[in-house]
Structure 1
Amino acid sequence: MAIRSLLKLAESKFNFTSPRFPLPCSARTISSSSVPSHLERVGFIGLGNMGSRMANNLIKAGYNVAVHDINLSVIKMFSDKGISVKGSPMEVAEISDVVITMLPSPTHVLEVYTGSNGLLNGGNPVRPWLFIDSSTIDPQTTRKLSSAVSNSALIEHKDSWNTPVMLDAPVSGGVSAAETGTLTFMIGGLEEAYKAAEPLFSSMGKNTIYCGSSGTGSAAKICNNLAMAVSMLGVSEAFVLGQSLGIKAATLTKIFNSSSARCWSSDTYNPVPGVMGGVPSSRNYDGGFASALMAKDLNLASASAKEIGLNCPLTSEAKHIFTKLCDDGLGKKDFSCVFRNFYNGKDEL
Structure 2
Amino acid sequence: MARIAFIGLGNMGGGMAANLAKAGHDVRAFDLSSEALERARTAGCLPVESAAEAAEDAEAIVTMLPAGRHVEAVYADLFAANILPTTLLIDCSTIDVATAKRVAETALANGITAVDAPVSGGIGAANAGTLTFMVGGTDAGFAEAKPILAAMGQAVIHAGGNGTGQAAKIANNMLLGATMVATCEAFLLAEKLGLDAQTFYDISSVSSGQSWSMTRYCPVPGVGPDTPADHEYQGGFATALMLKDLKLAAEAASGARADTPMGTKAAELYQRFADDGQGGLDFSAIIKMLRG
Name the residue aligned to 2:105: 147
- Please tell me the residue identity of whatever aligns with 2:102: K
- Per the alignment, residue 291 of structure 2 pairs with 344
- The alignment partner of 2:277 has SS state of coil
Paired residue type of 2:36: V
Question: What's the TM-score, normalizing by structure 2?
Answer: 0.95
Deviations 1:96-131 (A, max 9, x none): 1110011122232222222xxx2222xx63226210
Q: Give, in angstroms, the shift of residue 82 of structure 1.
A: 5.9
Instruction: Describe the superposition over 1:282-311 as per-residue Cα deviations: whole angstroms up to 9, x where unpaired.
Output: 011000000000000000000001112222
2:64 is matched with 102
> In 2, are the aligned partners of 1:276 and 1:282 still within 8 Å (CA)?
no
Q: Is 2:82 aligned against 1:125?
A: yes
Q: Would you identify which runs of 4 or more consecutive aligned residues in structure 1 move more than 4 Å?
A: none
Provide the alpha-carbon RMSD of the alignment.
Answer: 1.5
Native 8 Å contact 2:115 2:135 kept in 1:
yes
Residue 112 of structure 1: which of 68, 74, 99 is its match?
74
Report Cα offsets for 1:24-59 as digits up to 9, x if no partner.
Answer: xxxxxxxxxxx3xxxx11000111121111111110
Give the structure-1-normalised TM-score. 0.80
CA contact (8 A) 1:90 1:120 kept: no
Q: Aligned pair count?
A: 291
Deviates more, 1:49-58 or 1:174-183: 174-183
The answer to whether the 8 Å contact 1:188/1:211 transfers is: yes
The structure 2 residue matched to 1:60, chosen from 1, 22, 25, is 22
Aligned runs of 1:24-39 on 2, under 5 Å?
35=1
Paired-residue identity, % = 40
Aligned counterpart, 1:26:
none
Match of 1:187, SS?
A: strand
Structure 2 unaligned blocks of 5 or more: none
The 5 Å alignment of 1:198-213 reads 198-213=146-161
1:74 Cα deviation after fit: 1.3
Q: How far, CA to CA, are the matches of 1:79 and 1:246 in structure 2?
A: 53
The more displaced of 105-114 and 261-270 is 105-114
Counterpart CA distance in 1 for 2:271 and 2:74 is 26
Structure 1 position 179 matched with structure 2 position 137: no
**Shift in CA distance, 271/151, structure 1 to aligned 2, threshold 3 Å:** same
> Which runs of structure 2 are paired with 1:1-349 in the superposition (5 Å)?
35=1, 40-79=2-41, 83-114=45-76, 118-121=77-80, 125-127=82-84, 129-152=87-110, 163-340=111-288, 342-344=289-291
Offset at residue 257 of structure 1 (A): 0.8
- What does residue 23 of structure 1 align with? none
Secondary structure of 1:197's match? helix
- In structure 1, distance between residues paired with 2:156 and 2:42: 32
Between 197-206 and 124-133, report the one with greater CA deviation: 124-133
Partners of 2:19 and 2:153 in 1: how far apart? 9
